[in-house]
Structure 1
């Protein structure tokens, strides 16, 4: 289908301009994901310090509950800052997104424990995660919209896969830094203060890409869509409501991807460490290797989608994920060999699930309400289905209903295909699909 949106003047600039924009955009996105994932990976260290109890599993689940609450802030971030991005421009909101993530990472790095300041420790930790939720609520949808508006014709999926690769760099970086930290810091010191090191690393990286993002061009006003003044808030939300089926589709496109994403990147590693008492060094190493495998597959998925059409590649890959998600059932008892097999087997599942979902979501909304619509759908999908995935995985495991979680993930994937097919048949997909 031919593109139905205007292209920005940026798209006509040299490849060097594109590379610089992708570095600033993708690098900031990598830092966002790094900071977000570090908390999930270190939940088993954070829980005892901020939510002490008689059970290590309960402490970890309390920390993961805060992880999930952070996701609940994403819809608010999408609503407030998505509307600003559609009214005033993309660039300023991008700067806010990275800046607020840096601030929250600094706070967590220096935050005293429950033993020092009592309940305030957990309250401040929760507030920091909410700030991160506001930030990440707008980061991914804003990046997706920006890429669709920046990419030259016929290379939308490839540019989108580059951003997905940066996301994976952030996730892998989180696992790698955690692995290096646990390798160099003694176990007692790691439990006491060493877990703070990865958060400090993320704060420094965020400052670097905050500076780089200052030079990003604005893409809101395209040659065919110039306006004398910014759109009113009511106009933006009226358009979102007009495209409500697309909004619902975005929710499930994101939900299927994020439920599987957090199962592999957060749920399984925490299951290994807290429930099965696996060696944390080995767990972080395996998580890092799995993440590298996923990142290596992203460019292939992007090229395939541009060649075969985004819609066809998305539908085929999402349907293929349905049976593959049941591989999590193989890890039901302690054993690093099986954990390694499950994590590496999940690499192609994650690659085909995660490489396209952001680009697909961005093609479902017009430019004038793209960040708001994609941001709201993304936030609902992540908050409702992504952030809760690690908790549900451990919960079903604790109940002895291991089979329930892969069924849950498979149903989400099938619903995403059903809704996307409905929008596609109506001709509402807006970029070369």
Structure 2
């Protein structure tokens, strides 16, 4: 009698220390490339908004500086409108071709368009073409930004071992906030060094060209990014990307509100309240900028703390607690009903502590609601729609409601978005069977 032996499965091989060290080095380098790419994207994005009042008269024909500024801000807004398109188009490519190529394309688009804006001749030199080229650059930047934030988080989660999703989110959020802070700092230092007249004439180009120069280092780092979507995963996708979105439509809807509630809170605190302080209540602009810089520091450091806490306490639980905490937090703005920098600072900073937790976690939570084969498309689309609907309108809505003595409506609106996001998150998780981050 003969016996047939079953083939034995070899025991998993534990990597030797040298291999582990090499893998850790590759991951750290990849995370640095992803993080600095986010810094660059948000630096370039914020620079345009900060310098809109100077850029407008350079590229538009209006003799009224206010009208020219509004033209520039309208071009800035176009970037928000095309973000969903960038999320869909580039997200679909990332799900079909791979993450690495899209991450390189995203930074390349931002780098080239920023360089063009920094060197673009003014209206006095090339006429109406100045405004046309500027608009084209902002459209491309909107496409780039529409995929950078959601895909970089998804990429970071896929690069890191399970159980470290929170730290990956905190790391990426740190670099986003670093870009926003550097944009403010570069604008301030340039204006301080060259003076107001020179800043309006040519100095505005300096912080823009600085962002373009930074891009070459980021491209160098991203050149060696590993691919997290294997050939087998591309070939074995259970359905097409669009069929996957139809299957996980609840997850997509939840992403819109998870991101949207955070963005409404974010733009209210970072843009709306400072605009209220300077415009409606006549606070000293220098003091207001000092307070908003302090908020930037809270967001910068708090993102790392939030990420570490999320991994220890569990991502879903941390998200639910911090999201529900945002409901009472947004009502703090009602305390700032008139001039008073003490009240403004207290509202800004106390609310900022809750804001940083929500800002750190919203993208990684969105990532957890989509399976890998349609993750880039789903998170890109949901993120873009949410920012366009709820983020880009928040600061305007806040100031408009205050002028109508209806400021109380805004925190009610934000609180409702937060509650809806929690309900949809729980329902989507129950129906999807996806439990990333647990």
**Alignment TM class, shorter chain as reference:** 0.7 to 0.9
> Any idea what the Cα deviations from partners look like across 1:187-213, whole Å, max 9, x if unmatched?
333334333322222111122101210
- Residue 317 of structure 1 corresponds to 322
Partner Cα separation in structure 2 for residue 45 and residue 400 of structure 1:
32
Task: Report the Cα offset of residue 78 of structure 1.
Answer: 1.2
Equivalences for 1:25-424 in 2 at 5 Å? 25-47=34-56, 49-50=58-59, 52=62, 56=66, 62-114=71-123, 119-221=128-230, 225-227=232-234, 229=235, 235-272=240-277, 281-331=286-336, 333=338, 336-424=341-429
> 1:406/1:358 Cα in 2 relative to 1: closer, same or farther (>3 Å)?
same
Out of 16-25 and 283-292, give the one that drifted further.
Answer: 283-292
- Residue 3 of structure 1 corresponds to none
TM-score of the aligned structures, taking structure 1 as reference length: 0.87
Partner Cα separation in structure 2 for residue 137 and residue 326 of structure 1:
30
Partner Cα separation in structure 2 for residue 330 and residue 114 of structure 1:
45
Gaps of 5+ in 2: 1-14
Secondary structure, counterpart of 1:171 in structure 2: helix
- Residue 426 of structure 1 corresponds to 431
Out of 265-274 and 345-354, give the one that drifted further.
Answer: 265-274
- Residue 23 of structure 1 corresponds to 32
> Any idea what the Cα deviations from partners look like across 1:404-428, whole Å, max 9, x if unmatched?
3332222221211111121233353
**Larger RCO: 1 or 2 (CA < 8 Å, sep 6+):** 1
Task: Report the Cα offset of residue 339 of structure 1.
Answer: 4.2
* Contact persistence 1:99–1:210 (CA under 8 A): yes
> Any idea what the Cα deviations from partners look like across 1:367-406, whole Å, max 9, x if unmatched?
1111011111111111111122233233334444333333
> 1:332/1:173 Cα in 2 relative to 1: closer, same or farther (>3 Å)?
farther
> 1:120/1:327 Cα in 2 relative to 1: closer, same or farther (>3 Å)?
farther
> Any idea what the Cα deviations from partners look like across 1:223-276, whole Å, max 9, x if unmatched?
xx545x5869x8111111110000000011111111222223333444555566
Partner Cα separation in structure 2 for residue 424 and residue 297 of structure 1:
27
* Contact persistence 2:371–2:434 (CA under 8 A): no
Partner Cα separation in structure 2 for residue 167 and residue 377 of structure 1:
19
Secondary structure, counterpart of 1:431 in structure 2: coil
Gaps of 5+ in 1: 1-8
Larger of the two Rg values belongs to structure: 2
* Contact persistence 1:71–1:383 (CA under 8 A): yes
Secondary structure, counterpart of 2:434 in structure 1: coil
Task: Report the Cα offset of residue 429 of structure 1.
Answer: 3.2
Out of 105-114 and 265-274, give the one that drifted further.
Answer: 265-274
Out of 141-150 and 269-278, give the one that drifted further.
Answer: 269-278
Cα RMSD, aligned residues only: 2.9
Task: Report the Cα offset of residue 179 of structure 1.
Answer: 2.4
Partner Cα separation in structure 2 for residue 15 and residue 341 of structure 1:
42
* Contact persistence 2:248–2:432 (CA under 8 A): no
Task: Report the Cα offset of residue 66 of structure 1.
Answer: 2.9
Task: Report the Cα offset of residue 18 of structure 1.
Answer: 1.9
Secondary structure, counterpart of 2:86 in structure 1: helix
> 1:107/1:367 Cα in 2 relative to 1: closer, same or farther (>3 Å)?
same
> Any idea what the Cα deviations from partners look like across 1:46-74, whole Å, max 9, x if unmatched?
44555657684x66555443332211111
